[in-house]
Amino acid sequence: MREKILIGATDLFLNYGFKSVTMDDIANKLGISKKTIYQHFDNKTKLVQASTLQLFEFISEGINHICALEKNPIEEIYSIKQFIMEHLKNEKSSPQYQLQKYYPRIFKTLKEKQFCTMQDCVTNNLNRGIQLGLYRDTIHMDFISRIYFNAMIVIKDKDLFPEDKFSMPMLMNNYLEYHLRGICTPKGLEIVTNYINSNQS
């Protein structure tokens, strides 16, 4: 039952946001009583914490699986972006922004976990890109990996990028192009341009 509650709650949180979803909403969706939820989670904060941790682990496993395929590093970045967007529902409820605003302690813990995972992933991607001649060998990898991670956090700030002006797919696509054009060699830029042109809707 605990797993069923987590899955149902996570789906609601991603669709409607951490703030607006109530324990009543979760109980109604699952066809159970609030009492049943409270038998597994003391309060909503505990449920949000468990939900975000489970989602983080699921996303991390997916990213690790994509990295294990050892695709072209540029294609790998876009594959990870696609995977994350699909499983975070295109972030239409701004989950990260709401988490930061209403559950700052949970956000801080999650951000630290995300940083460790992304640091390894991005550094490996940069190394392979340099080895294949797709990224410039003069880039400062630690700097780039940290900028990459923090920019991914910043573009989800709805105060800075209001939803009526910036959709999440638009922000992600523009940021990835910005990132890649800053580190690619001419050979890499050709792949980026071809990828963008072939995936334009």
Contact 73, 148 (CB under 8 A): no
**Has residue 76 been placed in a domain?**
yes
Quick check: is 30 in a domain? Answer: no
pTM for the model stands at 0.82
Asked whether the predicted pLDDT for residue 89 surpasses 70, the reply is: no
User: Would you say residue 45 has pLDDT above 70?
Assistant: yes
CA distance 137 to 140: 9
Q: 35 in a domain, yes or no?
A: no
Is residue 23 situated within a structural domain?
Answer: no
Residue 127 lies in a domain: yes
Q: Which residues of 50-84 are buried (b: 16+ CB within 10 A; e: fewer)?
A: bbbeebeeebbebbeebbeeebbbbebbbbbbeeb
Q: DSSP state, 158?
A: T
When divided into structural domains, the chain yields a total of: 1
Helix axes 141-154, 168-183, angle to 10 degrees: 170
The residue-averaged pLDDT of 82-95 equals 73
Q: What is the mean pLDDT of residues 88-104?
A: 75
- The answer to the question of residue 1 being in a domain is no
Range of the domain at 125: 49-198
- Picking from 58, 73, 175, 171, the residue whose alpha carbon sits closest to that of residue 117 is 58
- Cβ atoms of residues 37 and 8 within 8 Å: no
Residue 137 sits in a domain whose CATH number is: 1.10.357.10
Residue 187's pLDDT is 97
In-domain check, residue 11:
no
User: Using alpha carbons only, how large is the chain's radius of gyration in Å?
Assistant: 19
**Amino acid in the structure at residue 70:** E
Q: How confident is the model at residue 101 (pLDDT cuts 50, 70, 90)?
A: confident
d(CA 128, CA 199): 23
In a domain, 9, yes or no: no
What is the pLDDT at residue 62? Answer: 92
